[in-house]
A and B are shown apart, each in its own frame.
Chain A
Amino acid sequence: MKLARSIAVFVLAIAALMVLGAKYLAPAGYENQFRETPQAKPSSAHWLGTDDLGRDRWSRMLYGMRVSLVLAPLAALLTTFLAGFVGGIAGYCGGWTERFCKILIDLFLSVPWLFLLITVRAALPLNISPPASVAVTFALLGMLGWAASARIICTGTKDLMRSEFVWMARASGFSGIKLVRLHLLPNLRGALFAQFWISIPVFIIAEANLGALGLGVAEPLPSLGSLLRELQDAVTLRPEPWRFLPLAVLIVVISAFQVLLNKQEVRV
């Protein structure tokens, strides 16, 4: 397992370098069109060939990784914040507030996550600018993915509220924000961090699903999900292996997250 973790760290480090250095590693911009060579095969000029519009696939993959790998953690941050807020309030207040929050959580959890995400995204406008589509897609991921984490945070907060040191703090006059800041948040940090870490690969996959269905990031901006749409052409044309590279990259990156995730879960 140690070897697997080392490989996972190495893979993520390489991915991070590719994301950070996309500008220098990419031979062209993600929207640059080589009109004389559309659908070109891999060559020294275009390592992964070009797409139907003559855009360099390697460049688009690098920039696509940047969009997915930078914004998925931001969406995870939003979802962790919402989970912490709702779960924390439910666990801290108890009673009717807790019951109301739990109904809200049940409501979100009883609809399959992907079903909810796709139907909600399909209901939102699709003809928006690329930056707006990025914001909508990842904000949606963040806002719809909090329920399972909130339940865990709620349980954790309730356990803490019953613990002796919190009783002692309350008996000493600590309440409200001071109790949350000094006693609850530091003790919930591990659980919150685990939820944040768990959400990242889930959101990358969810964005990929949306992208493959044409509901993700709008053209010409690439993301790992939107690059998968090219596979649809592989269905009608001949299945060229290099078209599958974004999918392979996605699987490798998510697998690396999963390997490290097991360690996080054990640690927390």
Chain B
Amino acid sequence: MLRLIFWAALRLVAVMLLASFAGALLMRAAPGFSSDDQELNSGLSAASIEAIRQARLADANIPVFYAHYIAALMRGDLGTSRSLNQPVKQLLKERLPVTLMNLAFALAVGWLMGLALALAARTWNLRPLRFLAEGLSGTFISTPAAALALVFLVFRLPPALAAALLIFPKIYRYSDNLLQQSSDLPHVLAARARGAGPVRVMAWHVAPIAFPQVIALVGVSISIAIGVLLPIEVVSDVAGIGQLAWQSSQSRDLPLLVNLTMVVKFVTVCATLISDAAQRGLMRRAA
């Protein structure tokens, strides 16, 4: 068990470091990296503009920048955002809770809707219910996150609900497929043949088999949710890390983008590792 945790933690750290390094390389290669908007500010003196240029040049050598970044990270210093002129730690402290709240809401509602519809549709197999579930999931799986955010803005609906509606089709479709596979197993058919009711069959025979596999989707759903929250936060002007990532990319803010990549990687990889471990545990218990 300890060995597993050790390797998982090692993998997490390696992926995070590699990803943030790749992010830094990308920003360095991006056109316009060496120039700064502030250089056009006529109110700044020549010395200030030169200082800004020197600061930019300090980031130009990516291995050196990254070595300094890691050394500072060890001391708990995440650096300072060039575009917003604030410590990255402070920015993350302000923005992360907003995104996490939206993420939690979106995941809770998305999972609730997806699972409830899949369970209801498979338990009673009613045509109108299936039509409703398929129609809703088909519509939202085909809707771009940014467009849905705009529609939600028009009708003044909460942006987190848009994220929930975009997550729900994945949950519904995956759960529905698993429930269908479990429903076709011989012991389930035998239970039905002996007169067990639909709710009993679902609760005692189908759901317990499908549930451990559904858990595997938790990690993926978190990754999807983070992905859809970025355009939603940008369009709806929500001050979360999605909007921050957008701003940092546009202003080629290297320290901020590297840290944001780290945070996003940490959340998604942790979620995947935890859901994988939970799935393995549940499968072992079921066996």
Q: Tell me whether A176 is interfacial, beta carbon within 8 Å.
A: no
Of B22, B147, B226, B242, which is within 8 A of A250 by CB? B147
Top-10 shortest CB links A-B: A112-B227, A254-B142, A212-B146, A114-B227, A122-B249, A208-B144, A123-B30, A231-B150, A119-B249, A209-B144
Q: Tell me whether A182 is interfacial, beta carbon within 8 Å.
A: no
Q: List 23 A-B contacts (CB under 8 A).
A: A107-B19, A110-B268, A111-B19, A112-B264, A114-B227, A114-B230, A119-B230, A120-B249, A123-B27, A123-B30, A125-B31, A125-B32, A201-B142, A208-B147, A209-B144, A212-B231, A228-B146, A234-B150, A234-B154, A235-B154, A239-B154, A250-B147, A255-B138
Report Cα–Cα, A232/B142, bound state, in Å: 20
Per-residue interface assignment for chain B, residues 14 to 36, with 1 indicating a CB less than 8 Å from any chain A CB and 0 otherwise: 11001100110011001110000
Report Cα–Cα, A244/B155, bound state, in Å: 13
Chain A residues in contact with chain B, CB under 8 A? 103, 106-107, 110-115, 118-120, 122-125, 201, 205-206, 208-209, 212-213, 225, 228, 231-232, 234-235, 239, 244, 247, 250-255, 258-259
CB-defined contacts of A201 to chain B, threshold 8 Å: 142
Q: Which residue of A lies closest to B143 (CB)?
A: A251
Report Cα–Cα, A211/B265, bound state, in Å: 25
Q: Contact: B31 with A112, CB < 8 Å?
A: no
Q: Contact: A235 with B153, CB < 8 Å?
A: yes
Interface size on B (CB < 8 Å)? 48
Q: A107-B15, A255-B138 are in contact. List 16 more A-B contacts (CB 8 A).
A: A107-B18, A112-B264, A114-B228, A118-B230, A119-B230, A123-B27, A124-B31, A125-B32, A213-B146, A231-B147, A231-B150, A239-B155, A254-B142, A255-B139, A258-B141, A259-B138
Interface SS of B by simple majority: helix
Chain B residues in contact with chain A, CB under 8 A? 14-15, 18-19, 22-23, 26-27, 30-32, 138-139, 141-147, 150-151, 153-155, 223-224, 226-228, 230-231, 234-235, 242, 245-246, 248-250, 252, 257, 261, 264-265, 268-269, 272
